[in-house]
Amino acid sequence: MCFNAGMKPSFKTVALIGKYKSPEIAEPLLKLAQFLEQRKIKVLIDRLTASQVGASKYPVLPLEELGKQADLAIVIGGDGTMLNIARTLAPYDVALVGINVGRLGFLTDISTDTMYDTLGAILDGKFVTEDRMLLEAEVHSGAEKVFEVLAFNDVVVSKGTKGSMIEFEIRIDGQFIYTQRSDGLIVATPTGSTAYALSSGGPIVHPSLSVITLVPVCPHTLSNRPIVISSTSTVEIVIKDAADPRAHFDSHSRFDLREGDRVVVRCYSHPISLLHPVGHSYYSMLREKLNWNRE
């Protein structure tokens, strides 16, 4: 995490992206577009967002094209929206700012009440930059790669809907670690450490750390505990015995697995940059979201 206190950044083109199928974001988004336009900034709007906003004078583009053209993307919604957008824009080196239309989130930490002052300061170069790692995951069936996707929070291999435990083998950098019987395994980034991994007994990992966490879900053997490994490592999960195994990626994508399939997970080569207001504190966010020190 670093503080930008030097030269004013060049945010000449800004993309606005809103929560999918949420008409209530239309008013704050269009007001924000006017605010940016008054600062001589070119405004682009995501194509799916535009379907909720209605007709406007601003260019409408698909997400991938926004990634190629924008210097900054402002996401209006919640953490779920930010997760999806971050996965799509990660290859394009576009910084993200999150505005939450409900309760403040871990990733979308600017409220609509303060967004003009906060964004004005960010556009003037007063912000904190936080780089977050993503995971790239592949599914291999035999010698063939049959699926690949990015994940911001986690990759989860689970038992599916039939209820019985699954058995799988874990390898790290090609080394056999153990065979586990459980309801599943969570492979999480530091960002994902406060999501499903936390509810399964995993540690909270500061986002500045470059690590991957492996968290078993209801393991048959209680000695199977969470492991934290280097982000340079490659994790391989081999399905050995399962009735209905599945792989989930940020809960946005899913792939139905078969016995013998391999899920390979490694750190993605491009981190995503989140911009926060000056004074942003991860620990303060934890206290608020997890209700620490509340009487």
Q: What does each of the 295 residues of the chain score in pLDDT, given as a tens digit?
A: 444 544 456 899 999 999 988 888 999 999 999 999 999 999 999 999 998 887 679 999 999 999 999 999 999 999 999 999 999 999 998 999 999 987 768 899 899 889 999 999 999 999 999 999 999 999 999 999 999 999 999 999 999 887 789 999 999 999 999 999 999 999 999 999 999 999 999 999 999 999 999 999 999 988 899 999 999 999 999 999 998 999 999 988 999 999 999 999 999 999 999 999 999 999 998 998 888 876 5
Query: Are 90 and 272 within 8 A, CB to CB?
Result: yes
Q: What share of the chain is helix, strand, coil (3-state, %, to 5)?
A: 25, 40, 40
Q: Which tokens in the block code for residue 272?
A: 């995503």
The answer, as to whether pTM is greater than 0.95, is: no
Question: CA-CA distance, 80 to 113, in Å (whole number)?
Answer: 20
Q: DSSP of 226-270, one letter per residue?
A: -EEEETT--EEEEEEE-SS-EEEETTTEEEE--TT-EEEEEE-SS
Query: Are 79 and 196 within 8 A, CB to CB?
Result: no
Domains of the chain as residue ranges with CATH: 2-133+271-290 (3.40.50.10330), 135-267 (2.60.200.30)
List the catalytic residue out of 46, 79, 183, 261: 79
Active site residue 79: yes
